[in-house]
Structure 1
């Protein structure tokens, strides 16, 4: 999953924003630092949207002049899982029952910063009637 990032001069620093996630803004002394910092801001935006039961927007098509930034795989998969839960009107408690686990475990499964076993994520998607597919690109 890649989000486009816009870099703008902001005095002595570069401001990085993400049009698909308007709450995201980060800075860096140079392009590399700004792009590195914005990844953390995107992860945080995903985490907040999941916590507030708001959909995580799919990245829009790449536009010329913007910088595509890769979202870490765990955060991307958890955003997809969360969005599917919203689409199916499934609550965390419903997923916990379906997976025969406790609520704190579901909270960890949906936390983009928490490392979750691939098998657990596959099971969560399975309980939603979906299959998790992985590709290298």
Structure 2
């Protein structure tokens, strides 16, 4: 659902530019495709932060097109996306989440901060308070 497809474009200078159809605000760069993929995960999380700052729902990923490569986000990031989108569906603010969970503002802010590491248990608890359950599956690589 949030495995975003990226495409590479060779730049005139040495390096590779990276773009994502589903997240037009996203752009990244790497020395080569492997480096570009490593940079893309950080850039995707930074882009997701823009959606939170602008109080916009984060779009689901589209199926990859030929020539695109899929980026699998960390589980914690996917859980934060689910939490944020649930909040947006309910027109909730971060302060509303803090009141619901009985936590301080800084704790609540970190739950939807893609640049901050959170514990999965905290995200599970927040989702449960909103009537959601986090499900994990294991797939072959």
- Give TM-score scaled by structure 1 length: 0.93
Match of 2:102 in 1: 100
Match of 1:6 in 2: 7
Map Cα deviations across residues 42-78 of structure 1 (whole Å, 9 max, x no partner).
1100112112211111111122210111112222211
Match of 1:16 in 2: 18
The total of aligned residue pairs comes to 137
CA RMSD of aligned residues (A): 1.2
Unaligned stretches of 5+ in structure 1? none
Match of 2:60 in 1: 58
1:27 and 1:126 map into 2 onto residues whose CA distance is 37
8 Å CA contact 2:76, 2:120 repeated in 1: no
Deviation at 1:95, TM superposition (A): 1.2
Q: Any runs of at least 4 consecutive aligned residues in structure 1 with deviations exceeding 3 A, and if so which? A: none
- Give TM-score scaled by structure 2 length: 0.91
8 Å CA contact 2:26, 2:47 repeated in 1: yes
- SS of equivalent residue, structure 1 residue 15: strand
Unaligned stretches of 5+ in structure 2? none
- SS of equivalent residue, structure 2 residue 23: coil
Match of 1:117 in 2: 119
1:103 and 1:133 map into 2 onto residues whose CA distance is 27
Deviates more, 1:80-89 or 1:111-120: 111-120
